[in-house]
Every structure is written in C-alpha cells, then in structure tokens.
Amino acid sequence: MSFYEDLVTKTQMNYQKYYSVYASGRTPYELSDKKPLPYPEQIKWMVREIQEADCVLVGGASGLSAAGGGDFYYEDNTSFRKYFGKFAEKYHFKGAFDGMFRQWNDRAAFWAYLATFLHTTQTAPVREPYLDLDALLKGKDFFVLTTNQDTQFVKLYPEDKVAEIQGDHRFFQCASCCTDDTWDAVKPVEEMIKAMGEGTTIPAQMIPRCPHCGGEAFPWVRGYGNFLQGKKYEEQYEKISRYVLENREKKILFLELGVGRMTPMFIQEPFWNLTFSFPQARYIAVNDKYDFLPKQLEDKGMVIVADIARVLRDARERMAEGGVGQ
C-alpha cells in the first residue's frame, strides 16, 4: 500500500469511529476559534502563500466544479435541466445522481441516461475556476489530487500531474471486475448519444460490454458501481505519494478546494495530518459552507469561507496586480 493510500485508510477508520459526528456535518477534530481575517486580507494572504511556496499540492473536490457550473449532481436546477431535461421530464429526477441511484428495469434506457451523464462531463469546456487556479499556479511546482471524476483537471494538465483517486469518466471497466483492464469510454458514449437523438433510449446492442466476460461494462468511478481498485487505481495513489514524499522537507502549500462532508478522508484530513507533520508545510482551504480549521493548524493555515469561483478570481486578479506588494 502506498504512503497516501495508507493515510486515507487511517482517516477512513476515524470516519467509521466517529460516523455520527460526520453524518451531522461536523468533525471530531478540535477546531480553531481564532477570528478570521477580513476577506481582502485573506486574498492577500492566499496569494502570498502561493508565491512563497516551493510547491503546491492542490486538493480539488466537488465544490470546485460546482462553483464553475457543474452543479447538476444533487438538485433539479437550471444546469440539470439544460443537460438532462428530457430525462427530468420523463422520470422526475432531482439531480444527475438521483438518476444513477434509481431502479432501472430497462437497461437500454439506463444506458441512454448514463451516456448523457458521461457525455456532459466529457465534452464540457474547462470551467472558469479551473482557469483561474491555473493562472495562480503558473510557474509553480505543483501537483493535483482530485476526487472529481469529471475530467476537468486532465483537460488542463498531463496525467502525470494529476491523481484521480475516485476514477475518471473517460474510462470503462467490467461491472463485475472480471479483469483489471480499463478501456476508452469516450467513443462509445459519443456513438450512444448519436443513436439516441432526441429520444431517451438506445438500441440494446449498443450497451457497452466487457471484452473479456461479455457482461456489462460500467464507468471506472467510485460511488454507484463496483469500483475497480486495480492497477490504474494504484497508479493514482503512487503518483500522489511520490509527490508528497519528494517534497516533505520543502515549503509545501496544501491548497484544499471544495471538500464537502461526505468524503473528508480523501483530501481534507490527510492534508491536515500532513500540514501538522511536515515542518514547513502550510494549509489553505476554500469552502462556501464549512469553516473547519483544526486548532493545531491555526498558526499554519487558514480557511476562506466564500464562493470558490469568487475567491480564485479575486486571487488571480490580485496576483496580476502585483501580489501582496500592491
């Protein structure tokens, strides 16, 4: 087991131990009661930390994509209707994930919906918060760890700069995990979308199949299937582990963006532990809801509670103006 995967495993055990606390939206960690800086000072502080860091480890979670318009997963909103309107009208889904967890009796109809889901993220342009983040990281040594499956980061950066530990919408796996293989999902999804047209189903013969056992395929993602934790999965953890260990003695900035309360064990709590353990490490979190800064880190970190898109845009503008010196 790699270094970072071991760290995640330990935090998962903590999550299970204090499940009722996490389920209520809280954390078992003692939090700082230090009064936050005014927002303009927080932006200045963030820019300075990025500029002065030897390297930056970005932890990008669902809130980052939601801030840029990828907010159709959990609610029936304008974005959901834009991409999934015909399914919302027919099945009355209340968000993209609602459709994934429904009981489908017609597999061709299910795959028409799933193809729509995957096509929406596969073909989406890089969202503005990601572009602002990219501008902030220009010229820096950085690495990205993400729980997002929507391919936003790999549209910006080469795969050796990104660890996708929860999977990626560009790949299929065997739904029964009969093989360790993963394969391209982009072309089959495009073909299903064309065959579906304005309807809500596809020809049954187009349902993606595993080339080994003939059973159904499924996206290589955690959350609503039998997630394949094989070679590709281990490669993601090896990448992030290697980066962390190579930079543990440097002034490393852990930059957490948009972590919710469902999965703190993958980014947030490992970042807390590493910031505390590494002598020169610093920590910044941006979240539109949760002001969670452990008391042990109050002199090494900061949480900005604000819209993530706004924070990244303001930080980018501040840096373009000359950073903290203006």
Ordered by start, the domain boundaries in the chain are: 3-8+38-67+127-165+230-325, 78-123+175-221
Report the alpha-carbon distance of residue 166 to residue 148 in Å, rounded. 7
Report the alpha-carbon distance of residue 205 to residue 219 in Å, rounded. 18
Q: Predicted confidence band at 324 (pLDDT cuts at 50, 70, 90)?
A: low
Model confidence over 194-209: pLDDT tens digits? Answer: 999 999 999 999 999 9
Model confidence over 228-258: pLDDT tens digits? Answer: 999 999 999 999 999 999 999 999 999 999 9
Q: Is residue 270's pLDDT more than 60?
A: yes
Contact between 277 and 83 under an 8 Å Cβ cutoff? The reply is no
- CATH classification number, 3-8+38-67+127-165+230-325, choose in 3.40.50.920, 3.30.1380.20, 3.40.50.1950, 3.40.50.1220: 3.40.50.1220
φ, ψ (nearest 5 deg) of residue 47? -60, -45
Average pLDDT over residues 270-294: 97
Q: Which residue has the tokens 């480890």?
A: 57
Model confidence over 135-193: pLDDT tens digits? Answer: 999 999 999 999 999 999 999 999 999 999 999 999 999 999 999 999 999 999 999 99
pTM of the model: 0.95
